[in-house]
Amino acid sequence: MDSNKLIRLAGVEPESIVDGRGFRYVIFVQGCPHHCPGCHNPQTHSFEGGILESPERFLSEMKENPLLRGVTFSGGEPFCQAEALSHLAKKIKEETNLDLTVFSGWTYEELLAKKDYWTDQLLALSDYLIDGPFIKEQMDLSLQFRGSSNQRVIDLNATRKAGCVVLDNLDE
């Protein structure tokens, strides 16, 4: 298998209700350059940790669970593995009806400014982006799906369709 399609994995949560709308299959990737003080997953920071895993394993597990509403890529920093996650995201979109949420310590604007093919592909395949670094001083436990008030929940489908950003509208 092409090593660019393998995912450096920190862990999986097959049925989460806190990482996006509804029951979600969550892939926690290994490796993060942000090192946010107070990070909820500091064990995912090292780029040497975790294990290499084939995306086919995840896809078959997702298909076996009829309760899933979506998939979430979290971390670590998913956009550090944008190529491998883009391949998996494409298969998710082709073979399931699951939506895709991606967490990132970079803002949407920073991701777009990278002008990186695989970053752009992963954004194009994603339905929601929860962006921005965790800032301990802005921690707010009342926020849905994020830890600090600077982070945004962006409906990427609405953003692409209307050319605007729709924030914090996940309660439907």
Geometric angle at alpha carbon 62, from 58 and 68, rounded to 5°: 145
Residue range 84-118, pLDDT digits in tens = 999 999 999 999 999 999 999 999 999 999 999 99
Q: How many domains does one find in the chain?
A: 1
- State residue 73's pLDDT score: 98
**Domain-embedded: residue 23:** yes
**Domain-embedded: residue 169:** no
- State residue 55's pLDDT score: 87
Task: State mean pLDDT over 138-154.
Answer: 94
d(CA 62, CA 18): 17
pLDDT band at 2 (very low <50, low <70, confident <90, very high): low
d(CA 82, CA 88): 10
Does residue 130 contact residue 145 with C-beta atoms inside 8 Å?
A: yes
d(CA 162, CA 5): 32
pLDDT at residue 63 tops 80: yes
pLDDT band at 3 (very low <50, low <70, confident <90, very high): low
**Domain-embedded: residue 106:** yes
CATH number reported for the structural domain that contains residue 8 in this entry = 3.20.20.70
β-sheet with 24-29: strand ranges across? 51-53, 7-16, 24-29, 70-74, 99-103, 128-131, 152-155
pLDDT at residue 30 tops 50: yes
Residue range 147-167, pLDDT digits in tens = 999 999 999 999 988 775 544
- State residue 61's pLDDT score: 93
pLDDT at residue 40 tops 90: no
**Domain-embedded: residue 171:** no
**Domain-embedded: residue 172:** no
Give the pTM.
0.92
